Structure 1
């Protein structure tokens, strides 16, 4: 399959967009630089279990047998499974606790094109059914459940989902179950994914759900820009998640934070919280650089995203919800964003009317509040903001600060059922957000403190482009 970018293209884009980014890690204690050189006392190579890296031989049994063997070392300091150079065709396989899956720089784990090699499993309880179709869903290529202390790493080795066959089945309406993710962990803790390239996921690429203490660093995620629903990284009902130094170019949201779907997410009641995103670069033709929702029925809060750069994309920052979702999206802080050739810089919608079934409660209204977006620069932007809350359920305490956009539209902002404040926004924002943040309303805005007033005063009215 023809890739959207070569490695040289990726490095060129990174060089253009990240000229002055400090690559030292800052922020929450769960967001720390992780070394790929963790030493496990026991190590084996996949070839020891009969695997053949010719891209044709199915190696599912070899992976399963290697993992089964290494499980005996889980309580003895853990183990490593090494995948050398080659193209290692496989169906879905499970990981175990205290394991490092390490890929050589020239290794490719390649997903089987036979759907029978991706077993069907039960739907997630916070979704009530498969995300695309009622019933179960195909299990991810690399899968883990109820695990702790797992590392997937390599010297930029590759995990390729062979997604084109799944996209064709989806478009043709021939699937009986929801498509699989490329990597999924369920109810697990202490997860590290770093120094890898992920290509052509059948569905969402990296999906930690009901997880905690998750680190994703220095990964490249690529799928064709017209591939359906190939999200990059989707933390889902998870906490203490760190995503840093990633390049993502896919057919859907680059990062989408979720927490369950309508009545099932409300009942499961597992929020996504304490999520840190630093230094993300990428493009998506059909969706958003960073999205909150639309499945947010367990709640989303305490999200800090900084140093984001989106280009050639449909939308920059998005919140998606609707009647029936319930719960909240609150305490969101997004700053230092660069946009280039983006259709809509900021998009909030309360009309994302996808529901799992007819049993959702239309009176379950989401609370969207304390959303701070600041230090945004954009050129070749068509619309600055399209902010649409829900009648009778305003999105409130939306705070915009130090935003300068070169907008093509004569109507750069369109707002309904929202309330908030702004300072130093150009072009001028909508009437519902015109009241100044400082000094009276800074406590209504998440994570804006007194020292920011001098910055606002200094940059008021200034253009950054």
Structure 2
């Protein structure tokens, strides 16, 4: 079936400095509902925000560039979701809302003119134009704010909101005022062979945000982002739990990520749950973190059933982060478990290489809600990059002293099978586990010039198999008993199928007595 094509130049495009909004929007409106294709031939087009409706293909030819105007007065106020809350903000540059059967495709460029908007983030609000100040006061009068809210009601470049069966392919999406591509409250969305580009210093310059949406596929896409590259969210705090719409059944495959705060990130907005996610055959280069799950008390929600397979990371500050203390203090007493307590369980990392990284992994649940079922299989981590290569906190948890090795705390169960961790000489322990239920090491290898390969402090069950005991008499593991728990504070150690005298290489170390 051949789609009826509407060339925007037939709608009165003038080759001058005037805006092309009316012509393009009229063509899109003519297609909506009746079906067909809106075609942008080669050339540069300037427009205010646009809206795409049902049964529409929007095709940008090779050599076509759609530039959105740098003028906040051209962007009306709309209701959508910004950073986990349903509230008002500036109209997305290209808005696909409450629509079905939409395709945005071609080899053209969609440019959000983000530099104009980013300037407002870098200056004090008292220096805003008076009209913008009044506008923001009007927008924010009914909106929620928290400690991390800045000018976060800026327009996303492409927002797919309340839609079904949407495909984005071939195009380049760049310079977004806020997030680049936001998929929210939508089902059956495909993003394929897309180039997403924001400068590294673009504030809130996420690549793709998948937010309370289902059946989303991201494939063969390159992302160079100013913030998280691919981010999965499901609402914030009490409102997010009341809305209760998870992000689920998501596949990310054959993607390359360059720069950004994280390669694939879940959270911190986890209130509606995130589950059933597969990420495979990807590379992350020069990102702050690689695979990152972040939440905190008050968020609530469960993150579960995630699989990360066949991934290569290079020059990443910390390749693996599971953080229940996002922007909060890691040293805290247990609190009552409520619906506001986040949980993470059943996360598998398989066949992954991380080279030239600073911290091997940060894996921390909560003392009242230990995160369960974290597994690493066939993973090689070279954590020999100096800390000052990036000067970044590995996880943005307060009170944590950075280290090169793997750090585990408050986990129900975590396993390392055929895992190799390399840290610099004299830099400390390759793997530290604290206050956790079960730690399994099978074929765990390290390169450490001194001290034990493993420190287990307050681990109830430590299982070591298929590992090699040092032949120079040095310890393989130091084990310290913890607070009273399942084993009355004593740690049980099971050894099976190791090489060398592992029984002699696992040393019980009593906590130091502190004189007061």
Which SS does the other structure have where 2:356 is aligned? strand
Matched, 1:63 2:24: yes
Q: Say if 1:40 and 1:126 are closer, same or farther in 2 by CA, change over 3 A.
A: farther
Q: Contact 1:217–1:243 at 8 Å: present in 2 too? A: yes
Of residues 170, 175, 178 in structure 2, which corresponds to 1:203? 178
Aligned length: 385
4+ residue stretches of structure 1 with deviation over 4 A?
none
User: Residue 284 of structure 1: CA displacement?
Assistant: 2.1
Which SS does the other structure have where 1:382 is aligned? coil
Of residues 274, 283, 290 in structure 2, which corresponds to 1:309? 283
Asked which structure has the greater CA Rg, the reply is: 2
Matched, 1:282 2:264: no
User: Residue 281 of structure 1: CA displacement?
Assistant: 0.6
Matched, 1:243 2:218: yes
Of residues 353, 368, 378 in structure 2, which corresponds to 1:402? 378
* 1:138-217 to 2 correspondences below 5 Å: 138-154=90-106, 156-172=107-123, 173=125, 174=128, 176=136, 178-217=153-192
Once residues 74 and 368 of structure 2 are traced to their aligned partners in structure 1, the CA distance between those partners, rounded to angstroms, is: 48
- Partner in structure 2 of residue 273 of structure 1: 248
Once residues 297 and 437 of structure 1 are traced to their aligned partners in structure 2, the CA distance between those partners, rounded to angstroms, is: 34
* Normalised TM-score (structure 1): 0.78
More RCO (CA 8 Å, sep 6+): 1
Cα distance per residue 1:209-261 (max 9 Å; x no partner): 11111000001111111111111111111101000001100111110011111
Q: Say if 1:53 and 1:262 are closer, same or farther in 2 by CA, change over 3 A.
A: farther
- Partner in structure 1 of residue 463 of structure 2: none
Once residues 441 and 406 of structure 2 are traced to their aligned partners in structure 1, the CA distance between those partners, rounded to angstroms, is: 17
User: Residue 53 of structure 1: CA displacement?
Assistant: 5.3
Q: Contact 2:62–2:108 at 8 Å: present in 1 too? A: yes
Q: Contact 2:5–2:38 at 8 Å: present in 1 too? A: yes
Unaligned runs of 5+ in 1: 1-38, 131-135, 355-360, 439-459
Unaligned runs of 5+ in 2: 140-152, 329-336, 386-402, 422-429, 444-497, 500-516
- Partner in structure 2 of residue 19 of structure 1: none
User: Residue 128 of structure 1: CA displacement?
Assistant: 3.4
When the two chains are superposed, the root-mean-square deviation of aligned CA atoms in Å is: 2.3
Q: Say if 1:385 and 1:125 are closer, same or farther in 2 by CA, change over 3 A.
A: closer
Cα distance per residue 1:123-156 (max 9 Å; x no partner): 43994355xxxxx2111111122111000000x2
Once residues 430 and 403 of structure 1 are traced to their aligned partners in structure 2, the CA distance between those partners, rounded to angstroms, is: 17
Once residues 126 and 232 of structure 1 are traced to their aligned partners in structure 2, the CA distance between those partners, rounded to angstroms, is: 14
Once residues 165 and 72 of structure 2 are traced to their aligned partners in structure 1, the CA distance between those partners, rounded to angstroms, is: 30
Once residues 249 and 304 of structure 1 are traced to their aligned partners in structure 2, the CA distance between those partners, rounded to angstroms, is: 21
- Partner in structure 2 of residue 327 of structure 1: 301
Of residues 22, 28, 43 in structure 1, which corresponds to 2:5? 43
User: Residue 41 of structure 1: CA displacement?
Assistant: 3.0
Of residues 336, 342, 346 in structure 2, which corresponds to 1:366? 342
Cα distance per residue 1:259-302 (max 9 Å; x no partner): 111111101111111000101111224x1000011111111000
* Normalised TM-score (structure 2): 0.71
Once residues 217 and 103 of structure 1 are traced to their aligned partners in structure 2, the CA distance between those partners, rounded to angstroms, is: 15
